[in-house]
Structure 1
Amino acid sequence: KELHSLEQLKVLKLYLPEVKLLDESFLKEMTRLSSTQFRFIVGRHLRRIMSRLPREVEVKFERWNRCLKYVNGEDIPTEVIELLQHTTAFFLDRHSSVTTLSEFGIDSLKNLKLFILAECNKTQTIVDGGKFFKESHDNRDKDEEKVLESLDYLSVHYMKSLMSIWIGPIRKCCLCNLKSLTLQTCPQLTIIFTLDLLGNLNVLEELVIDDCPAIESLVSQESPSEHKLLASASIYFLPKLKKLSLHYLPKLV
């Protein structure tokens, strides 16, 4: 029975071990079911006896009404990119090749409210602004420059190659609604914010950094002008911050 004939369908939960099950007809049905909640796991999902992720992270993920968990991926299929356009919570778990979230494209990330990234060993940065804004320039669509404008929660765990949150140019509205940022066990991460990124985080309420032993500074001071700006008493950053948790950052000065 086709999905569109299920007129009273409120919640749809599916485990799809192979990406090819997200065929064209299925994706069209998802477009029609715009009011239906869904929770999809795509990819081979082997349950662990004990997960390394804090339980509250997965609980928070499951609270959202349109959730996609992509597990053990080896590439970035078009089908996943299309499904992301209907998704509010995205959990990228143990992807073997992705180096940055930017590889999923601007359009697919517009509606994201929550993003969890865990054990993606090739990922070096969360966002590459150069890739995003080149794509936006090519498409001549200025609205697309508002990268991750809707994102409320960003949670990053056990990322052994992660070196930065954002590289390249950043526009004014990028990540401007982010309320919570968690970074756990990222051994190569040395700096959290650039000044441009920090200036966008005016509604950030929670910052949790745990077991990131290479961090030397929370904010990049790449030039004397940036250092002077950061030291200025007239400049205020993170005005809404309510919770700051820093644990095992031995190089932080």
Structure 2
Amino acid sequence: MTMDFAGVRTLVTGGNAGIGRATVVELLARGADVCTIDLTIDDVPSEARALTADVSDAASVQRAVAELAADGLDVLVNNVGISFEGGIEHGDDDDWARLWNVNVLGYVRVIRAALPELRKSPSASIVNVSSCTADVGVRNRALYSATKGAIKSMSLSMAADLIDEGIRVNCVLPGTVDTPFMWELADRSEDPEAKRAEYHARQPLGRMVSPEEVAFAIASLASPRAASSVGTMLAVDGGLGRMLA
């Protein structure tokens, strides 16, 4: 494996499980100095520095980022997110506010806390994790899709705003990823096994995307070797975003 992240200081949000943990593992293997924040950190790889933090709380984010980025920061990966199943009529105002607070404002809080250190880096990079639901209509995902569409649009605007400061911003749009996040959604259904089979079947590839595949895409965009990748919206969705029947 290439060591293109040797000496690169990285911060990954949500590094305790799923895409976030796979990204921590990928970056460590490529030589990065990795730190992460999450609500719990019991399963973060021991080689990474980790602190508990709640992205829905600005003070919590500021404290953790200030400590972890005290020696500088080159790469930020925003990954934390929660889901909600239902159409436009489902969920009350509190549900909508909760998802918006975590999925969108959570990214904003972390970015704002990290930018002072990123501005000092000679090869600064931000990768935001959105979703293929930002590009394609998926049933019963109105609220979730709204937040992920916001992340995609925000990433494009950020790329334009920050490029003059030497900070690259890109975005990854995964399909249905085989993570504890999806297992929990399936477990809430009347038939969890059938729901998991449905998740696999709706991918044109015939299976859910693996967290490691998304992590590879994130690292590829964040790498100093991708210095001309700016404003890229990279789908890692097994064809879901372009071949949904």
**TM-score over 0.5 (shorter chain):** no
Structure whose residues are more often helix by fraction: 2
TM-score by length of 1: 0.29
Bigger Rg over Cα: 1
TM-score by length of 2: 0.30
Q: Which has the higher contact order (CA 8 A, sep 6+)?
A: 2
Structure whose residues are more often strand by fraction: 1
